[in-house]
Structure 1
Amino acid sequence: MPDPAQTAPSDSRPLPGAGRTAVVTGASSGIGAATAARLAAEGFDVVIGARRGDRLESLAGSIGARALPLDVTDPDSVAAFVGALDRVDVLVNNAGGAFDTAAVADADLDSWARTYEVNVLGTVRMTRALLPALRASGAGDVLFVSSTAGLISYEGGASYTAAKHGVHTLAETLRLELCGEPVRVIEIAPGMVKTAEFSLNRTGDQAAADAVYQGVREPLVAEDVADCIAWAVTRPHHVNVDLMVIRPRAQAAQHKVAREG
């Protein structure tokens, strides 16, 4: 009989992210913070960026990451962030958000511009700036955290759905342009995710934000999305997760949500 000590898995096996550096944008809260924590646990050397320095430093200290100030809407901030990096193997483009629920007829163009600037142009800035490093890594990953709002539209969501449709087509186009190069392009599109800030930032009212999830049994949480992100970037590098759509079981479609009570 084989010796059990020789056939049992070794505890000294390297973690999936060992030796790789992952950058996570919008990491001061929500999906970004959960992703940073999960990637650190997977052995990645994690660099986190966001505007809120106090939250960023606190998270970095708790998970063993490196924190750098970052405003993806500011070209100088992006340049300074990128200039402080020695290498990058994974870029998680998570920074984004929704800021209104207005109908198109009542569109606030300042809100539209803000939404596009953060979700689309900020993502393009980071991707363009870090592509040379991702290519140089020999096994790079560009991961876009988009949304089911980038795949289907709904009333009252035009500014956000337009921006996330932009992120979706950005990922598709980049994948075509990088075909044959050692860089994967991955898109994770979550549906209903309950976080502390997303709906509050969008509605500006805590009661209205709470109503979004009222009666929904087990909406997704940030850690669920982080789990999918970590899985995608730790597959063998010849495996590309082009698009992963994730929703809570209670959400069959953008407009179809089971609510209890």
Structure 2
Amino acid sequence: MPAGVAWDLWLGTAPARPFAAGTYHPTWWRGWQDFGTGWLGDMGCHIWGAPHAALRLEAPLSIKARVEPAWAAAPARRSETWPAWEIVEYEFPGTDLTAGKTIKVAWSDGGKYPPNRAKQALGGKDFPLQGALFLGEDGALLLPHGGNVKLLPEKKFKGREMPAPPPADHYLSWVNACLGEGATVAPFERGGPLTEIVLLGTVALRCPGETLLWDNAAMKVTNLEAANAFLSRRYRAGWEVEGL
């Protein structure tokens, strides 16, 4: 074990297990269910921020996941790790910013790119490595992670000026909020519901191929009781949190 690593402290609430060099560090811990939530939980909390806030999404009505077949067929992998790729489809209630009574949002990773309609919106160009794509009735909006927003097709929107985003500094806003000066860029009122959306996707990964119907008021899956077992877990002795 590397010097300076307090392994028991690092494990925290997770069940005890021995340290294994090259298995969890420096980045692989994200792929283990005891420690992380895969790529969806890792980057999802960043990439989901824009559609969640811009479309004023509420809790999903349903979630369905497709996963790497080799992972789905391996009980040992399914019980401890996350799949190498996944496609998670959510259906949300529509808002005043959407065209229908519901709106679908799809997450994909591990080299599984969005469907043909999304490819057509890009006009044959490659997708960015990470990001979000909004498909509208009159065009599309591409938001690369860490890049500039683009309206598509580019020919149709040529010359259209994009409004400048307001200045934002996560670090400064957090410090200012601690001092009672304003709110953070991502307060709990936004971060909590967004995190729930992402984590419901990971529950669907544990039940591949099943459409999970979500009752947000009751905080439970209504059509597959087995899925509710993945909504919480028992914390390790000495790490319990009262009320959880």
Task: Give the TM-score range, shorter chain.
Answer: under 0.3
> Greater share of helix residues, 1 or 2?
1
- Decide which structure has the larger Cα Rg and report it: 2
Q: Given the two structures, how large is their TM-score scaled by the length of structure 2?
A: 0.25
